[in-house]
Structure 1
Amino acid sequence: MTSGSPNTSDFDSSSNPWLVRQELFVASLQHQPLLLVVRPEPDDLRPSSSGSSLLDQVLQLHAAGLRHLEVAWLDQPGWGEFMQRVQDQCPGLNLGAASVTSPQALNDLSCLNLSYAMAPCWSPELVEQAREVGVLLVPGVFSPTEVHQALRFGCRVVKLFPAANLGPGYWGRLHAPLGPLPFVIAAGGLDVGDIPVWLEAGHGAVALGRKVVGSPPAFQALLDWLRQSTTQP
């Protein structure tokens, strides 16, 4: 890290909007520790008069109780309109953007008033820009160095990616050398059956990817998980 990089002492004020948004996001994930990540196809980005199989699936999942959805950012016409359709038809859904790696993506997001965005990697410059334009960007981390840098930068929530390559025990082994760790979302290569394993291993939430919505059995398993979790006391 450069000497000009911020650290956690710069973000102690409870009135800091960036910190407040992080805390609200964490609170929502504690209520339902699951995110679904999807990538629209060209047919999904056509005007609302055209059918969208992805939107139909999102509506089913939302009706079953899904609270957090990430839609991969695409530099394509119609992406913003698709996001608006999801917002209009799924009130109460915490909608975010995935695969955010560029300033252009952040500029697009700043107009949508999304709850959050996700980056696959650690980029302090991108996190800083996101904070400046009012977007809560959750960075991806992989190594102990990246976790330490994210903590020093004031990130209270991070995404462990790709989690499947590291295994559910990896995050816990970082506690001894690094001390208190941020709230972590395990993402990358996981399915519905992995949710309890990774939560029990100390991860705050689990993100599921495209293979869930692309497979009828996996999609049904997710619907069942949502319905069961929302009916439990």
Structure 2
Amino acid sequence: MTHRHIIAILRGLTNEEAVPVCSALVEAGITLIEVPLNSPNAVESIARAAGTLSDRAEIGAGTVLSPEDVRAVAGAGGTFIVSPDTNVAVIEETVRLGLKSYPGVFSPSEAFAAIRAGATGLKFFPAEVLGAKGIRAMKAVLPPALPLYAVGGANPDNFHEFFAAGCTGFGLGTYIFKPGMSVSETAERAALAVAAYDKGAQT
């Protein structure tokens, strides 16, 4: 399986959409799929997607705010946790349960707090406010091998800027999925994102 560091963020996904939408993303080449916990019955959607696609994709949760949430996601078969903030208790519980942890950070202090707690990678959020320049400045003091994701304002048009700043990958939300969007439109946008990612990763 080709591993691209693109996380599809499916905020507002319904249980009925979980398998068809996630399957379309995997077919397009995106194998990291996040269902935010403020989506309807999110844990059930994670369970359905993981049950069908766990051999082809990693299914995780976003907007994870408590250790209890982490345990619910783990019980549903989720394999990674994305949080909007640097919550040490969430990171530590994620690591304890053997899941991958991608907390949201905006400053060097948050970044190093997340690293000390055991984060797998960092989510720079909102990336459109930090900008590639801000990320590049922080990258200079972070562990070189630590994966960095630009989320919130990253899209195929500016992948190259964030790659140049040292980002490993991206989280794509409303660009790739919004409630009411057809599976075919999500698949088309996923294909565009994969093409832009592959182009940027080679340069």
Question: Do the two structures share a fold, i.e. TM-score over 0.5?
Answer: yes
Aligned partner of 1:96 among 38, 60, 75 = 60
Written as runs of structure 1 = structure 2, the 5 A alignment for 1:118-129 is 118-129=82-93
Aligned partner of 1:136 among 92, 96, 100 = 100
Length, aligned pairs only: 195
Change (3 A) 1:229 1:145: closer
Percent of pairs with identical residues: 22
AA aligned to 2:192 is D
What RMSD, in angstroms, separates the aligned Cα atoms of the two structures? 3.1
Structure-2 residue corresponding to 1:150: 114
Secondary structure in 2 matching 1:189: coil
AA aligned to 1:205 is G
Q: Does 1:79 align with 2:6?
A: no
Q: How big is the shift at 1:200?
A: 2.4
AA aligned to 1:65 is G
Aligned partner of 2:7 among 30, 35, 38 = 35
Where do 5+ consecutive residues of structure 2 fail to align?
none
Q: Indicate the structure (1 or 2) with the bigger Cα radius of gyration.
A: 1
AA aligned to 1:84 is A
Q: How big is the shift at 1:221?
A: 3.5
AA aligned to 2:27 is A
> Residues 84-138 of structure 1, C-alpha deviation per residue, up to 9 Å, x if partnerless?
2212333411111111011221120121232211011001122122233333322
Q: How big is the shift at 1:74?
A: 3.9
Secondary structure in 1 matching 2:26: helix
Kept in 1, the 8 Å contact 2:34–2:61? The answer is yes
Output the CA distance in 1 between the equivalents of 2:86 and 2:43: 25
Written as runs of structure 1 = structure 2, the 5 A alignment for 1:2-17 is none
Where do 5+ consecutive residues of structure 1 fail to align?
1-27, 46-50
